[in-house]
Amino acid sequence: MTSHDVVGKLRRITGERSIGHLGTLDPMATGVLPLLMGKFTRLAQYFSSAEKSYTGHIRFGFATDTYDAEGEAAGPDSGPELALTLEQVRNAASRFHGLMDQMPPAFSAKKIGGTPAYKLAREGKPVELKTAKVQIASFEILSLEGAEAGFAMSISAGGYVRSVAHELGQDLGCGGHLSSLRRTQAGVFTLENAHTFAELEPLAGDEAALEALCIHPRNLLPEMPSVTADEAVLGRLRNGAQANLPEFSRAPLVKVFAGQRDLVGIAKRIAGTLFQPIVVMG
C-alpha cells in the first residue's frame, strides 16, 4: 500500500476530500503515516522539519538498485561465507551521526528538472542527484543474526534510511540493503496514538467518533504556544487584522484557539503581544 492509497482509503471512510499525508512512507515500510484532514491541511508547511524515528533491519551480503528489498540485486552476493561480527557492524555504523552529507537513492521522489528521480531510473536514464544535508540524531545497531542487523534510528526530515543501509554495506565491503522498516514516530505522531484501518472502518460516517481518535489540536506543533482569544480579537484575526493576544512568551508563532479545541489559526508575533494572523482556519 502506498501513502497515496492510504489517503484514498481514508477519504472513503471519513467522507472528507481534503486529506494530505506528512512525508511519504515507502510501500515496503509500516508504521506511522501522519495525515491532516479538512482545514488542518493548511498547517502542512509547519510539519516539514519534524524528526522521524525508525526501527528495521539491514541485510548484508549484497546491495540493490533501490537500496531496499524491493529492488534488483546490484553487486555480488557474499553468500554463506559472510562473517560479520556485531562489533564490526557497530563500529562501522558509528560514523553515521550528527550533520552529514547524504546521497539520496536514484529510486526516490527527489526531482531532477521537475521529474521524480525514480521515473528516470526506471526508464534506464541517467540520474544525477546532489547530496543533501541530513541530521542523524541516533543510529544504534541492536542485533546481528546471520547477515541481518536490527537497528533503531532518528533522522531529520528528508533523510533516507535506505541510503544509510546502502552506505553501511559499502563501508563493510560486502554490500547491504534495507530489508524492513517501521516508522515509530514522526514529530508528535507516535505508534502509540496511531490507528489502523481495522479500527477506523467501523466508524465510517460517525464524525464525532473519528474526531475523538485524532490528536488534540493543542498537542499539535508543540513548539508553538496555545492561546485562547475572545470573540472581538478572533473577529480581527479572521479578517486579517493585527490584534493583541494574552501571550507573554517570546515564541515567534502561536496557535490561536476559540475555546479548548477549536483551532482558529496561526499568528506571528509583531512586537510584544501584538500578532498578525498568517494562517486563518475558520
The CATH number for 234's domain is 2.30.130.10
Tell me: do 117 and 171 sit in the same domain. yes
CA distance 126 to 78: 28
Q: What is the mean pLDDT of residues 242-264?
A: 95
Q: What is the mean pLDDT of residues 108-116?
A: 77
pLDDT at 104: 85
Phi-psi label, residue 272: left if phi above 0, alpha if psi -120 to 50, beta otherwise: left
pLDDT at 80: 53
Tell me: do 116 and 235 sit in the same domain. no
CA dihedral of 139, 157, 34, 249, whole degrees rounded to 10: 100
Evaluated on CA atoms 182, 187, 188, 189, the torsion sign reads negative
Q: What is the mean pLDDT of residues 94-115?
A: 86
Tell me: do 168 and 221 sit in the same domain. no
The CATH number linked to 128 is: 3.30.2350.10
Q: How many domains does the chain have?
A: 3
The rounded mean pLDDT for the chain is: 92
Q: pLDDT category, 114, cuts 50, 70, 90?
A: confident
> 11 is in which domain, residue-wise?
1-48+190-215
**For the segment 194-218, what is each residue's pLDDT rounded down to a tens digit?**
999 999 999 998 999 999 999 999 9
Q: pLDDT category, 111, cuts 50, 70, 90?
A: confident
Tell me: do 108 and 181 sit in the same domain. yes
The residue annotated as part of the active site, out of 5, 26, 65, 101, is 26
pLDDT at 166: 95
Whether 171 is a known active-site residue: answer: no
Tell me: do 137 and 245 sit in the same domain. no
Q: Which grid cell is 129?
A: 542527484
Distances (CA, A) of 73 to 45, 105, 177: 37, 14, 9
Tell me: do 177 and 73 sit in the same domain. yes
Tell me: do 231 and 203 sit in the same domain. no
Q: pLDDT category, 143, cuts 50, 70, 90?
A: very high
Is the model's pLDDT at 113 over the cut of 80? no
Under DSSP, the state recorded for 259 is T
Amino acid code (one letter) for 75:
G
pLDDT at 33: 96
DSSP per position, 29-90: -EE---EEEGGGGGGGGGGTT--EEEEEEEEES--BTTSBTTS-B-S---GGG----HHHHH
Q: What is the mean pLDDT of residues 241-259?
A: 95
Tell me: do 182 and 196 sit in the same domain. no
Is the model's pLDDT at 158 over the cut of 90? no
**For the segment 69-96, what is each residue's pLDDT rounded down to a tens digit?**
988 888 766 655 678 999 999 999 999 9
Distances (CA, A) of 228 to 134, 196, 224: 36, 33, 13
Is the model's pLDDT at 55 over the cut of 70? yes
Cβ(204)–Cβ(233) under 8 Å? no
pLDDT at 194: 95
Tell me: do 194 and 222 sit in the same domain. no
Q: Which residue has the cell 508528535?
A: 188
Tell me: do 257 and 247 sit in the same domain. yes
